[in-house]
Amino acid sequence: MNQPNTQQASPLTSCPRSTVRRATKRASVNRQVAYTLIDRLKTAHLGFVEDGEPRIIPITAWRLDDHLYVHTLNGGRLSKRLGSGQLLCISFAVTNEWVLTKSAYHHSANYESLVLFGRAQLVEDTAEFDAAFRAIINQIEPGRWEQVRAPNQKERRATGLFRIPIEEGSFKSRTGGPNEDPEDMGLPIWHGTVPAVT
């Protein structure tokens, strides 16, 4: 799907804004763990500032090597925002299981999440444009790019493709069963995990 390279062996970088501060034992800067979640979900929430106010937009985001790619209408509102060079916040998250406990307070979720920070760059090279779209289409169904019609010039002009380096961020997850207070263990109430509906 994605060819390994030397960057994949290095951890994600972090600074105060991207460092997990609560339940730090659940955090990771392992690049391969982050890549696995990106490749699985391919749906991100893209945060930015517009007119002095926060905005967040769900968007398809996929990976090729050490970069995220997103596409928009060329010349549209989001395309202009991405092209401005401002710092972006990109998140991926999925709930895998609900954790049911004997007390209302301790109910929880088993989840995986990733928050990245970076700046987008417009892709203008035709070869990179094709490689990026080949990656997402073949990730959805292997070999499909080779079967379908390639984008024509009108479609290329209408598409704003942006590259975001995967450099700074943190992964966080929870796994396992319920955490109970000792005095609650005798309560005749079932506890455990149930699959989340996604």
Asked whether the predicted pLDDT for residue 34 surpasses 80, the reply is: yes
Strands (E), the chain: 27-28, 43-50, 53-60, 62-64, 67-73, 88-100, 108-118, 121-122, 159-165, 168-173, 192-195
pLDDT at site 4:
44
Asked whether the predicted pLDDT for residue 144 surpasses 70, the reply is: yes
Q: Is the whole-model pTM more than 0.85?
A: yes
d(CA 94, CA 40): 10
Domain boundaries along the sequence of the chain: 26-174+187-195
pLDDT, tens only, 83-95: 999 999 999 999 9
- Three-state SS for 93? strand
- What architecture is the 26-174+187-195 domain classified under in CATH? Roll (2.30)
- Three-state SS for 155? helix
Asked whether the predicted pLDDT for residue 8 surpasses 60, the reply is: no
Listed residue (41, 65, 17, 45) closest to 166, CA to CA:
65
pLDDT at site 1:
47
Q: Are 100 and 191 in contact (CB under 8 A)?
A: yes
